[in-house]
Amino acid sequence: MNTLIALSGLGLITLFSEIFSFKKLIRPIIFLGLVTALIFSISDWNTNQSLFNNMILVDNYAVAFSTLLIGLTIVWFLLSNNVFLEGATEVDHSALVVFALIGAVCMTMYSNMIMLFLGIEILSISLYVLAGSDKTNLSSNESAIKYFLMGAFATGFLLFGIALTYGATGSFSLTAIGDAVASGGNTNSAMLTAGMFLLLIAMSFKVSAAPFHFWAPDVYQGAPTAVTAFMSTVVKTAAFAAFLRLFATIFASNTDVWSTTLWAIAALTILLGNIAAAAQENIKRMLAYSSVAHAGYLLLAILSMNQLAAGAMFFYVVAYSVSSLLAFFILLIVSQKTGTDTISGFKGLFKTHPVLAILTVIAMLSLAGIPPTAGFFAKYFIFTAALDAGYIGLVVLAVAGSLVGVYYYFRPLMAVFSPTEETEGPIVNPSTVVLLVILAAASLLLGASPRLISGLLG
Amino acid sequence: MLPLLSILIFLPLIGGLITFFSGANARKTALTIALAELVFSAWVLLGHFSPAAGMQLVEDYWWVESLGISYKIGIDGISMALVLLTNVLLPLIILSAFGRTIKSPALYFGLMLLMQSALVGVFVALDGFLFYIFWELALIPIYLICLNWGGENRSRITLKFFIYTLFGSLLMLVAFIWMRTQTQNLSFDIDQFYALKLSAGAQSWVFWALFLAFAIKMPVFPFHTWQPDTYTDSPTQGTMLLSGIMLKMGIYGVMRWMLPVLPQGIATWGTLAVSLAVAGIVYASLIAWVQKDFKRLIAYSSIAHVGMIAAAIFTLSSQGLVGGVVQMLSHGVNVVGLFFVADILMNRTNTRDLGSLGGIRSVAPAFATSFMIVLLGSVALPLTNGFIGEFMLMSGIFRYNAILAAIAGLSVIFGAVYMLRAYRKIMLGESTTASANFTDLSWNEKAVLYPLVVLIFLFGVYPEPIIQLVTPSVQQLQDVITNAGAATLR
């Protein structure tokens, strides 16, 4: 609870900083505020408290995910200083990111449908604005409009799903709904089934699973790269945390109704994401499609719904977020110099900036899931969970998808080592390099010793 | 008690990281580390190892306990032979780059040492998952070496190589994961794998999953299509690592992880595997015959040699298995020598085309003699190392099937023909514009070739130490295979 209060306070202070003109202090304030929230969040470990008439349940699942979200946001802020957060709009953008984080944290600890809805909306509305924050750029505006229209549509599905579920079970509380579904007796099954599928579609939209993924490539490509990095890490993590919590709590007892549909969604997501990513020249768009593919792998965890699922999903989002932050910020640095997001921008990076080149290699290896990086164990845990649940065919498909992944992730990697006439590398802040090196080291460390976090959740 | 094997694995790893930061002294640093590793492995062999004791120096700790993954390593005669091969060849491979211009040497030599670490790991791993990790770890440095220091079409070729081998190893991983679910205590431990009693149907698909993984690595016909391009386009040291050591991972994998686990699968599909290997011998020999590029010729001849080893070990006979290990060592030494000869030619004349070379023997006698000896080792002349191994392999295949042995025997003749023909074209005859100003071996080239020449003769004349090193372990391996076979039949 302290976490949410601290974050909300921080959001308000950030907004006030412009009015009361302590704008210069805003960076240390945000940093300290986030670190405070992080400490509050960690201190909730093993407390398992239920708050506000059971609106919020701070169990270890919630603590693990919200700590991760806050940690990622801290890293994101440190990396985005001077590249995205600068000038007249700095305060607005910072406040929006903090508010988005509040929504994301709500999505990990909700125990009532209302809180889920609030969380998703707080997160989404902040993001609509952030996606369009590069006001002079046409594609950024397009991205915001697209995201808003599609997002509003998905919100409709979500609300309708919540309403029908309420109609069938008579409650907004996850535990009450879960009990009603499990008992099966007096619930109106047609209404419940319709509600469940609407919820499934709304959540699939939020995690950009096919065939509800069409917004993702355009939005990812059009938004400023720093915002895209935020979306593919914090937002994706929050959406999956909410998705698994929702289905594991209320629909665990009738998996037979929805598992076939989700199976198809996962298979389609893996197929479409990987195949479309392989055809991209623009790295940002490639990463966008590949993030769709990663959503497909993550759906395997929701589908397997066993004791391994939560731990596997947590490890996966950690590994994916770390390497994704790395990839997007390298892209940002590179494209600042070359002015292009295409693969050609990476050409000869090894000659012009060897450190950045090695970091690119580590990021791509991790995204492709090659040992000794965290990405390998992430895939391994998820695939093992799915195999244990008996989804052999889907795992085979996912392994084949990862092979395609190697193809497109290795294209920037190969470009890095290709010859170039260029002699000057991109200009990078030393502190940014240090942060990126820490991220890469984290990826390698988790690859060498996955025990560090693999045992946290079951 | 020191964790000797862990030191063997991590010494080159740390050495590689040091080399990354050694700047202009990269060559010397890397060479020093590789020599230290060689001395250390010799010390382990002489002071702490006895061939008769089976699997020894075992270290066993949990890595990810919840998934049954352990860090379990150990060494027996077969592993020891391959670890020695790795550690003997590595200093020579590093030395072969002395006197050549190489961009970013620190990274180049550092990656080689990282690869050495992974290779040693592959040969001592006793946990299926650990084996897989080392297997993949060996792939990344060699991929980067070929990608950054290779020839013109390297991007396309190395990607094909990477995806091809990754495809194989993922199949292996899937097979291992499935095998784990069948073990008593859900672990990847090799002893658990050996104790498995799989049904005939399961053995069939596991056989194909593992066979593809190992056959691609070796490579066995028809899974060899990545190999000639990759060998030709890689930098010399990369090709030496690939052909001298890395392909042995595939053969070793068959011996350690496949034969003892799948007796029924081998009984069903072994003949097909042997036949594919033999077909590959003839096919590769014929293609080698018509090659004009010397490096490509060696690449194809390597497929033929490896095919012979693969055919022999799938016969499960003790001659075949012992011969397989002996021939792995011989092939490693010879092929590194041959690729170095190709590198010297390229360095001096800027061409490897057989047609545009000639008359080198008269101006470079030391080179000519060394080349001749390496070549004789490669075509298995008696008193050279190649003869011992090839003889044992042939006798293994002959007992299995005389017709296949006769076909495989053709390759020995073919090999002599195309190798000697290449020698004649390059070294004899009139000198050409390209080869007119050929200078003889420099000190560092001698330092690479002469030890190889000594090894070729040493093991050709007195192979007893290697055979004694390997035979007890092969015997134990066969006991496991026999027991597993009996268990399946019950």
* Chain B contact set for A455 (CB, 8 A): 66
* Chain A contact set for B177 (CB, 8 A): 383-384, 387
For residue range B312-339, what is the model confidence (pLDDT) as tens digits? 999 988 899 999 999 999 999 999 999 9
Residue range B145-151: mean pLDDT, rounded: 89
Share of chain A above pLDDT 70, in %: 99
Task: Assign B490 a pLDDT band (cuts: 50, 70, 90).
Answer: very low
Interface size between A and B, measured as CB pairs under 8 A: 55
For residue range A346-401, what is the model confidence (pLDDT) as tens digits? 888 888 888 999 999 999 999 999 988 999 999 999 998 898 888 888 998 999 99
Residues B181, A361: C-beta atoms closer than 8 Å: no
* Chain A contact set for B107 (CB, 8 A): 354
Task: Assign A88 a pLDDT band (cuts: 50, 70, 90).
Answer: confident
Nearest to A403 among B132, B148, B170 (CB): B170
Using CB atoms within 10 Å of the CB of residue A447, give its burial: 0 to 12 exposed, 13 to 18 middle, 19+ buried: buried
pLDDT value for B328: 94
For residue range A323-338, what is the model confidence (pLDDT) as tens digits? 999 999 999 999 988 8
pLDDT over 70 at A187, yes or no: no
Chain mean pLDDT for chain A:
91
Determine the 3-state secondary structure of B264 from DSSP: helix
pLDDT over 90 at A417, yes or no: no
Handedness of CA B231, B237, B238, B241 (dihedral sign): positive
Task: Assign A458 a pLDDT band (cuts: 50, 70, 90).
Answer: low
Nearest to A455 among B63, B66, B137 (CB): B66
For residue range A25-76, what is the model confidence (pLDDT) as tens digits? 889 999 999 999 999 999 999 888 888 888 999 999 999 999 999 999 999 9
CA distance B449 to A358: 34
Task: Assign A428 a pLDDT band (cuts: 50, 70, 90).
Answer: confident
**A450 φ/ψ angles, rounded to the nearest 5 degrees:** -65, -20
Write the ipTM.
Answer: 0.84
pLDDT over 90 at B43, yes or no: yes
pLDDT value for B104: 87
pLDDT value for B409: 87
pLDDT over 90 at A253, yes or no: no
Give the contacts of B419 (CB within 8 A, at least 6 positions apart): B301, B375, B378, B379
Residue range B440-453: mean pLDDT, rounded: 91
Residues B144, A402: C-beta atoms closer than 8 Å: no
pLDDT value for B486: 67
Q: What is the pTM of this model?
A: 0.90
Closest-CA residue of B relative to A449 is B63
Torsion of CA A171, A173, A179, A185, to 10 degrees: 10
pLDDT value for A245: 93
Chain mean pLDDT for chain B:
90
CA distance B51 to B48: 10
Nearest to B133 among A372, A399, A402 (CB): A372
Strands A56-58, B69-75: pairing is unpaired
Residues B159, A410: C-beta atoms closer than 8 Å: yes
pLDDT over 60 at A272, yes or no: yes
Inter-axis angle of helices A113-131 and A90-109, to 10 degrees? Answer: 150
Does residue B260 have a cis bond before it (omega within 30 degrees)? no
Residues B159, A414: C-beta atoms closer than 8 Å: yes
Q: Which residues of B touch A (CB under 8 A)?
A: 63-67, 104, 107, 132-133, 136-137, 140, 144, 147-148, 155, 158-159, 162-163, 166-167, 170, 174, 177, 181
Task: Assign B276 a pLDDT band (cuts: 50, 70, 90).
Answer: very high
For residue range B208-260, what is the model confidence (pLDDT) as tens digits? 999 999 999 999 988 999 999 999 999 999 999 999 999 999 999 999 999 99
The secondary structure element, H or E, covering residue B182 is helix B154-182
Residue A1: both structure tokens together: 């609870």
Place of tokens 């030395």: B95
The shortest C-alpha distance from B44 to chain A (Å) reads: 27
